[in-house]
Chains A and B, each alone.
Chain A
Amino acid sequence: MKPSKDKYKNLLNNIGQTIETARQNAVKAVNTELVKANWEIGRHIIEFEQHGHERAEYGSDLLTKLAKDLKLLYGKGFGRRNVLDMRRFYLTFPIWQTVSAKLSWSHFIVLLGISDETARKFYEKQSINENWSKRELERQIDSSLFERLALSRDKKGVLYLSEKGQIASNPTEVIKDPYVLDFLKIPQSNKVTEKHLEQKIIDNLQLFLLELGKGFTFVGRQYKISLRNKHFYIDLVFYHRILKCFVLIDLKTKPVRHNGHRANESLSELF
């Protein structure tokens, strides 16, 4: 009996999934081994230094000599800069069990560049929580994400943020002030219209979502709502998967206006 088309398709799918999973696991395993090796190299260097060899026999040139020899023996990955990073890696994360398997060596190199421990811990946690690529992590550091989130918190809140990362438990935790939209590449001197701003955001939606943070999904733009033959258009509508709520965004290129009177009027008129 010939297998049916569906059954064959199923077979192909199953095999495909096995291949994909194996490949992903292989990449992960290679990454873990690489990170582990670099950590061990760092440990060897530190222990060597601590035994007083450095000053006695090699002076401060240990790393230079080491990098030169390693490069000769094992190739390009062992320049002085890299060996220095490995040494610093061990010093920063002396306990192997606390080194996340979810981050790649290139993530760690970026993290090692952050001298402030409170900030570094935050970016490390957040990279894991949000599955940031190395480039996304760099972007968040450039935009001072940690500092922006920290400034609306008290001391306890900042330490918690550093320890746990940003937890989307309520709207106040999720909303930032200010939002940094430099990636839209709108010159500051330009007078930007709301339409233009919206278009730029749509053109750069991936980066805008990154700036909004974890959990936001795009629903629509110029979302039309109709009330008694009156039409209103909401600039941007998102849904937050963790808070389980819609997030409506209204863009204002001019200062926010307030007119309680008219607002009340339109409300009582419509509801």
Chain B
Amino acid sequence: MDIGQMNLYLNYFKAEENVENDNEPIGIILSADKDEVLVEYATGGISNKIFVSKYQLYLPDKKLLQKQVKTILEKK
């Protein structure tokens, strides 16, 4: 439902607010939590650019993130 709602907003902006040379609007659903699988299903059939991002109220664990980035860089 949140995603459908955003889709509606985007369609409205495309039709009513965009002026010449504006690109298609994008939507961010900024959520405390999200379920990746459900998000994929829900945004699957929608052509609008909808992103679901998590927000967090604390600083991330830098050491952990650095380790994950290192793993990416060590791949061949």
Point out residues on A near B: beta carbons under 8 Å. Answer: 116, 118-119, 142-144, 146-148, 150-151, 153-155, 158-159, 171, 175-182, 184, 186-188, 192, 225, 227, 232, 234, 240, 243-260, 262-264, 266-267, 270-271
Contact = CB atoms under 8 A, between A and B. Distances in A.
Interface of B: 1-13, 16-18, 21-35, 38-39, 41-42, 49, 51-60, 62, 65-66, 68-69, 72-73, 75
B36 to A, nearest CB: 10
B4 A246 contact: no
Given A147-B69, A188-B58, A256-B29, A267 B23 contact: no
A204 to B, nearest CB: 12
A178 B60 contact: yes
Contacts of A253: 31-32
B8 to A, nearest CB: 6
Given A155-B73, A179-B30, A179-B53, A227 B59 contact: no
Given A175-B26, A243-B23, 11 more contacts: A154-B75, A158-B73, A177-B52, A232-B9, A244-B22, A246-B18, A248-B13, A250-B9, A254-B33, A256-B35, A266-B5
A264 B26 CA distance: 19
B8 A248 contact: no
Nearest to B16: A225
A177 B69 contact: no
Nearest to A225: B12
A115 to B, nearest CB: 10
Contacts of A159: 73
A256 B34 contact: yes
Nearest to B42: A258
Contact of A256 (B2, B11, B22, B25): B2
Nearest to A258: B42
A237 to B, nearest CB: 8
